[in-house]
Amino acid sequence: MTKLYEHGTLAMLMDGMMDGTMTLADLMTHGDTGIGTLTGTNGELTILDGEVYHAKSDGEVVHITDLTVATPFSSVHFNEPTVMLAFDVVDAQSLTAHLGDHDLANVFSGIKLHGTFQHIHVRVAKEQSQPYPSLLDVAEGQAEFQARDITGTLVGYYAPEIFAGPTTAGWHIHFISDDKQFAGHVLDFYASQLKGSLQIFDDFVQHLPVDNQSFRKMKQNMNGLKENIAKSEGGHH
């Protein structure tokens, strides 16, 4: 029995609910591997081997040691591989196609894959301040970075189409280099000798910030929610 634990929803971010509502310390009690963001969609988090790395929109990557900082939206799990995977050469599109061979359409799953990236293209969300905009506006102003000939790890999740709203439907993948100097939300890559694992989750735990009064009072806009999430989180479906 393995579970995927998610704090907050992507739908909340779409409507500007971007205050951190769970400390990283609390989040990490539910997993040692994952992805997320900080208050105000400040950058992209990659959680690897129990450590949190924060890719910032200026390109810097910080190892977060003060786990009292909070996240509005993050997903974590304990790494317990279901299937081991290895690819000689693979890009973002062919990886998704290969993963599709494992009949993942209706299940939550995760990947952790390490290899050499001849090319990788990531984006990093910029920190927003109050009053927070829609995530759609954040996506338009995101920073993008590219690297060549770099070794590193992909960490990401797949969610079935019916969960577009709580999270991104399809794949949502982050990258962190071995030297922890380059990281972000993956848009595209070309890699070789990519090895690691696929994990299929029996359980999906959706945790909500029930003590946050703005969340309790917010009116979620459902119009075009699915399309807007695809627009702001798209890049590898």
Cβ–Cβ < 8 Å for 204, 7 = no
Tokens of 186: 């993956």
Rounded Cα distance, 86 and 106, in Å? 23
Q: How far is CA 36 from each of CA 54, 91, 148, rounded to the nearest angstrom? A: 9, 23, 24
In the complex, what is the shortest distance from the CB of residue 211 to Zn ion, in angstroms, rounded to a whole number? 25
When the beta carbons of 1 and 157 are compared against Zn ion, the nearer one is 157
In the complex, what is the shortest distance from the CB of residue 113 to Zn ion, in angstroms, rounded to a whole number? 16
When the beta carbons of 56 and 185 are compared against Zn ion, the nearer one is 185
In the complex, what is the shortest distance from the CB of residue 27 to Zn ion, in angstroms, rounded to a whole number? 15
In the complex, what is the shortest distance from the CB of residue 131 to Zn ion, in angstroms, rounded to a whole number? 23
When the beta carbons of 103 and 144 are compared against Zn ion, the nearer one is 144
Residue type, 218: M
Tell me, residue by residue from 163 to 202, as one string, x for binding to Zn ion by CB under 5 A and - for no binding. Answer: ----------------------x-----------------
When the beta carbons of 35 and 191 are compared against Zn ion, the nearer one is 35
SS3 222: coil
Nearest residue to Zn ion, by Cβ distance, number only: 185
Q: How many residues bind Zn ion (CB under 5 A)?
A: 1
SS3 43: strand
When the beta carbons of 35 and 85 are compared against Zn ion, the nearer one is 35
In the complex, what is the shortest distance from the CB of residue 124 to Zn ion, in angstroms, rounded to a whole number? 9
- The answer to whether residue 126 forms part of the interface with Zn ion (CB under 5 A) is no
Q: How far is CA 168 from each of CA 114, 165, 171, 179, 216, rounded to the nearest angstrom? A: 23, 7, 7, 28, 22
Rounded Cα distance, 4 and 110, in Å? 9
Residues that bind Zn ion (CB under 5 A): 185
